[in-house]
Structure 1
Amino acid sequence: MSQISNAIATRDNGPEAIVRQHKDDLTLVLPSHVKGETWMRLAYGALRSNQQLMQTATRNPGSLMTALQECARLGHEPGTDSFYLVPFGNEVQGIEGYRGVVERIYRAGAVKAVKAEVVHENDHFEYSPDMDRPIHKPDYFGDRGSIVGAYAYGVFQDGSTSKVVVINRAYIDKVRKESRGSDKASSPWVKWEEAMVLKTVAKRLEPWVPSSTEWRKEQLRAAAEVAAETSDTAAMYREPAPHDDFNDEGPIEGELVD
């Protein structure tokens, strides 16, 4: 079979076709800021540009769908630095990147900046709980040594600092050990260790800062409800006009009269 025939068969019967069949299910969970058609084209493009990914998805299409559903739920674009589609053994793994975690924090609208840095053994680093932010002075042009930890914090719109999260090497190793196949050459922990450490500390920051666009929508909805309730309450206790208080036969039913 020619390469063109193979491509057509893959398009019509392979992972692409399965993704296309479930288009409505995938785009239904996308947050409002993501365009469904664009998202779908990126999903197709990720498959077409990576032969190993396509082969793994052909063998195990269910794992591809699971990864894409998680990608859609988080509001990321598939096959990007925000959300990787990684062929791993006989399945496709969906891995949110450091950029993806930070994007979700920014999308919530509560913070204006996110600071996350990896600390190496030869860096100058100071932090204690009574400090607003860490003091970190790396020598970018010298030998920084191995990674010993990382830290992250958010800066809110009013300029205040969120909780500062600091992780050490022991915690990094624990998270890495819990990641499947982290010692294999294809693992993100082997290929992009610094990025994975940044992602790890950014995930630790999440409980201390809002991290989704839906949070912002919920806050706006709640604010609108409070405003409406306040308006209704004010109207209820507004001093009525004299002709509304009484009719010729006495108080109108349901009115409050002092």
Structure 2
Amino acid sequence: MTENTVSNAVAVRDNGPGAMVEAYSADLATVMPSHVRPETFVRLAVGVLRRDRKLTEAAQNNPAALMGALMDAAQLGLTPGTEQFYLVPRKVKGRLEIQGIRGYQGEIELIYRAGAVSSVIVEVVRGSDGFRYAPGRDERPEHDIDWDAEDRGPLRLVYAYAVMKDGATSKVVVLNRAQVMQAKAMSQGSDTPYSPWQKHEEAMWMKTAAHRLTKWVPTSAEYMREQLRAHAEVAAEVRPAVVAPTPQPVTTVDHDDDEGPIDAEFVDDEPAAGWPPAAQPGTGARA
């Protein structure tokens, strides 16, 4: 976002954060993926700001932080104020400001959008659940849940994996409580009362596992472009070769100053990668 956009956002601050977002809908639209409808994105963002008094206060305190968070959500094509992309207030130098945090549904959405997987499974394992998984022996975890139990116990593990479109199983990510707590400690503002770690702990466990899974599966439309390029290259290789006409004999005259034939080298230049790169973009069924 340009300095001019930030200064203009400050200028419309007195009209409220909703008016601020509407005023800069064109800026947001310029960075959105083609599948996102700008008017829908703006309407949902305005709605969540107007429903939450703390978010309204945080947006008025720092319009640039609000617009920065919304720009991040827009670039990823994720819905702000949902479990795809949280908008949360946090204290900075004693004043509330808005922070954008990608949620577990957002991580899963980016995986699906790449087009390489048929399903993504992300689940938490609680104290009374049965869980078995041995890497190298088991293709997928076995997770037994007593759905009649009133209390399945505390969060114990979380796991995530994807089923690729060819039926293969991706790497299975399994994290225990200590590993999740390490991730939480690295999350800015996770100990504040406004953090999704405090309000949506199970969802943040799932987000942590889903985020780790993104290291092992495609999460970008670049994957689809590479597939199309590969198909085009294969198609070019199997095209019938063009048969050159049989050369006819020609009469040549020798001269002492004639030069021999000049060897020519044909170079097939590789086109530069395009810009911008595509956006990187749950539980058994698609979230």
Q: Scaled by the length of structure 2, what TM-score is found?
A: 0.74
How many residues in Structure 1 have an aligned counterpart in Structure 2?
A: 239
Residue 4 of structure 1: aligned partner: none
Question: What SS does the aligned partner of 1:167 have?
Answer: strand
The structure, 1 or 2, with the larger RCO (C-alpha pairs under 8 Å, 6+ apart) is: 2
- Greater helix fraction, Structure 1 or Structure 2: 1
Indicate whether 1:171 and 2:179 are aligned: yes
CA deviations on 1:52-102 (whole Å, 9 max, x unpaired) are: 212210111111011111101111122222112112222101111111111
Residue 216 to residue 132, structure 1, CA distance change in 2 (3 Å): same
Indicate whether 1:184 and 2:186 are aligned: no
Letter in 2 for 1:188: P
Residue 62 of structure 2: aligned partner: 60
- Do the aligned residues in 1 keep the contact of 2:86 with 2:102 (CA within 8 Å)? yes
In structure 2, what is the Cα distance between the partners aligned to 1:185 and 1:200? 19
Question: What SS does the aligned partner of 1:153 have?
Answer: strand
- Do the aligned residues in 2 keep the contact of 1:83 with 1:95 (CA within 8 Å)? yes
Letter in 2 for 1:61: P
Match for residue 163 of structure 2 among 155, 159, 162: 155
Residue 208 of structure 2: aligned partner: 200
> Which stretch of the first structure deviates more once superposed, 52-61 or 18-27?
18-27
Match for residue 135 of structure 1 among 132, 142, 145: 142
In structure 1, what is the Cα distance between the partners aligned to 2:231 and 2:24? 35
| Structure 1 alignment gaps of length 5 or more | 1-8
Residue 242 of structure 2: aligned partner: 238
Distance apart, 1:160 and its partner CA: 0.7
Distance apart, 1:185 and its partner CA: 2.6
Question: What SS does the aligned partner of 1:208 have?
Answer: coil
Question: What SS does the aligned partner of 2:188 have?
Answer: coil
| Structure 2 alignment gaps of length 5 or more | 1-10, 253-261, 265-287
CA deviations on 1:159-202 (whole Å, 9 max, x unpaired) are: 11000111111101111122233233322112111100000000
In structure 2, what is the Cα distance between the partners aligned to 1:11 and 1:91? 14
> Which stretch of the first structure deviates more once superposed, 28-37 or 151-160?
28-37
Identity of aligned residues (%): 46
Distance apart, 1:33 and its partner CA: 1.1
- Do the aligned residues in 2 keep the contact of 1:10 with 1:16 (CA within 8 Å)? no
Q: Scaled by the length of structure 1, what TM-score is found?
A: 0.82
Distance apart, 1:48 and its partner CA: 2.2
- Do the aligned residues in 1 keep the contact of 2:157 with 2:177 (CA within 8 Å)? yes
> Which stretch of the first structure deviates more once superposed, 76-85 or 216-225?
216-225
Match for residue 114 of structure 2 among 90, 97, 108: 108
> Which stretch of the first structure deviates more once superposed, 92-101 or 38-47?
38-47
- After superposition, the CA RMSD in angstroms is 2.8
Question: What SS does the aligned partner of 1:184 have?
Answer: coil
Match for residue 144 of structure 1 among 134, 147, 152: 152
Residue 203 to residue 129, structure 1, CA distance change in 2 (3 Å): same
- Do the aligned residues in 1 keep the contact of 2:13 with 2:20 (CA within 8 Å)? no
Residue 248 to residue 200, structure 1, CA distance change in 2 (3 Å): same
In structure 2, what is the Cα distance between the partners aligned to 1:36 and 1:254? 56
Residue 75 of structure 1: aligned partner: 77
Residue 249 to residue 188, structure 1, CA distance change in 2 (3 Å): farther
